[in-house]
Chain A
């Protein structure tokens, strides 16, 4: 069982929403990460067959999904980002309607609905109108309808938005169990949702796929770029201005523990010894911290870090320079290769868009076919 996404692209007027994305989904949970506007939803809608790609093809077990039509939709469940529901429907009405549309036999429908309601803690609201449910409950009703036909391929767009932490954990566990012999694709920008359960992750940016790998493989890309130190509270604004601060924690002694992203410890070391009262407020020396998927996300999407004005500006300047000189493809390739640059040894098993591009270049240059996808 595999879903092959082969160089698919999609544009809306002058905006290229998805740009030549290729990947092969195999059974397991796949996390699709990316900032808002990265193209995750458009990609998912194309996988769901709601939208036709402008170029490229999506194949399920080697057959284009366009030719499978109804058969393809029978084997997948889809939870869109926006949960639309009929205001007059109760949970029961809605799930029964979805089951009827999916063509589930009537004798199995009630049993399956009850199972899912139990599983998603919705039994108490079975007869309530959906419009009266909380956001999290509505989301769970959406999840229930996606799971109704026990799909082989489950596509969920931001499934955990609106869920409280307990529900989120339960949902993650449910998905892990569900994905044993199925393909589950979850798009999210809540990194912790996929950090532990995702078999593999794909990271999208500006419509392109910039990295793909297991969580362990991906976090190695920022290995040695995550630092932490303890500083005095007075120095914090300057640190926030100069560095990409990921996390802050107030310590009992009034100082602040800072976790930040940087190519190396040098900048923080320099910062530590400069400024008024530097000697007295120097704090501890930066030490490398164990990277997490969230760190990678923030490294790749610095615009998501509200406080990092300097970093953002620096990145934009670099991007602009690269874009001016050699175009967008090279910008992405450069970003990916800069990721790999400092950590070449660790990132050997991860394939990024930059790597793929250079593979293609060297393929065409040498005329020799290289090996398949590194996994």
Chain B
């Protein structure tokens, strides 16, 4: 930009035009040059984004994971539809939402499946985002192109996030469409709204895993290491976090036969707080609240607090208010992970293979 300025000023000096006119023209040209450069940089990001999208859509591993998700979605939908008549017999409201939350006799619900398998999609999309470029020697070439360096990591994240969004939306539409065909009952506006919030939560949840896996791909030299780290953390959050939370809570607030109500409450709150550090728990809690309008709180409620309460459903707005901290928490975790990978990528020197 300075070179442009220097050249422009040389041109200006030799020109015989009036000063004001000259200044305007110079500023105009500088702006045009700046716009041209920004546009080139943007086109670089767009090229990268498109390439990443194409890579994901053509990659065998993504297609396998997608097939797995579609199969499990279909299985959970089958289970839900099979048990729908029994469920409707006791509560005939919000039938459309039951397609997502109802589990079959042996098959978990769609929301449970997504909470468990969603991270796998995020990990698959990002575990080798940067380190594979590094090991294949393409990162060198990439960052020597006239694009901003952060376009590389931004492009990769944006492409992954787009794929996740499209996939989640498609699954939601698929289940909705099949559900309507099976039940013959169109969803109400509130049900559609709740399903949309659920899909948004799911997208943010999977994006968290995407940004985490990109972070690992920045930090680890080998793709295998970053994949193992991601899978390890996924298994830990999904299976062992609850165990750890109960052990820690039990150690801090032990409950025995003589434990007071206060101690039991402390133990429960401690356990919940620790569990809420896990994105898996945050997501599951938020989704069960959004998809079930009968859930009125995410915390412990004592019988005294319930006395006098009128049984009813929460409106969508009230349910969203309940899980708003969960959504912001998940989004913040995603942003923190992405910021970590961004800083790591920008600061780390790109060396030869």
Contacts and interface: CB of A to CB of B under 8 A. Distances in A.
A67 B47 contact: no
B4 A84 contact: no
A83 interface: yes
Nearest to B142: A101
A68 B3 contact: yes
B3 A71 contact: yes
By DSSP majority rule, is chain A's interface helix, strand, loop, or mixed? loop
Interface stretch (A73-81, A247-255, A359-367): A73-81
Range, interface on chain A = 35 or more
Contact of A70 (B6, B133, B140, B146): B146
Contacts of A69: 1, 148
A301 interface: no
Interface in B19-44: 37, 39-41, 43-44
A82 B353 contact: yes
Given A61-B3, A71-B4, A86-B138, A81 B146 contact: no
Interface residues of B, number: 36
Contact of A60 (B3, B47, B146): B3
A207 B203 CA distance: 51
A103 interface: yes
Contacts of B51: 97
A50 B144 contact: yes
Interface in A72-102: 73-74, 76, 78, 80-88, 97-98, 100-102
A135 interface: no
Contacts of A86: 55, 136, 138
A88 B58 contact: yes
A276 B22 CA distance: 88
A70 B147 contact: yes
B232 interface: no
Given A60-B3, A61-B3, A97-B51, A78 B144 contact: yes
A221 B109 CA distance: 82
Contacts, number: 101
B352 interface: yes
A84 B51 CA distance: 16
A49 interface: yes
Identify the interface centre among A50, A60, A81: most chain B CB within 10 Å of its CB: A50
B43 A74 contact: no
A58 B90 CA distance: 77
B305 interface: no
B350 interface: yes
Contacts of B147: 70, 73, 101
B52 to A, nearest CB: 11
B352 A63 contact: no
By DSSP majority rule, is chain B's interface helix, strand, loop, or mixed? helix
Contact of B138 (A45, A70, A78, A85): A85
Contact of B146 (A63, A67, A73): A73
Interface in B99-148: 133, 136-148
A101 B138 CA distance: 13
Given A41-B352, A80-B137, A82-B352, A100 B44 contact: yes
Nearest to A64: B2
Given A70-B37, A71-B1, A103 B43 contact: yes
A73 B138 contact: no
A347 interface: no
A78 B141 contact: yes
A82 B145 contact: no
B86 interface: no
A350 to B, nearest CB: 31
Nearest to A10: B349
B48 interface: yes
B33 to A, nearest CB: 8
Interface in A178-237: none
19 contacts: A45-B352, A48-B144, A49-B144, A50-B144, A50-B350, A67-B1, A69-B148, A70-B37, A73-B144, A74-B146, A82-B137, A84-B133, A84-B136, A84-B141, A85-B136, A97-B51, A100-B46, A100-B47, A101-B145
Interface of A: 41, 45, 48-52, 60-63, 67-71, 73-74, 76, 78, 80-88, 97-98, 100-103, 145, 149
Given A70-B41, A86-B136, 5 more contacts: A70-B147, A84-B133, A101-B142, A102-B44, A149-B146
Task: State the 7 A-B residue pairs at the shortest beta-carbon distance, nearest first.
Answer: A84-B137, A103-B40, A100-B47, A84-B138, A73-B146, A101-B145, A74-B146
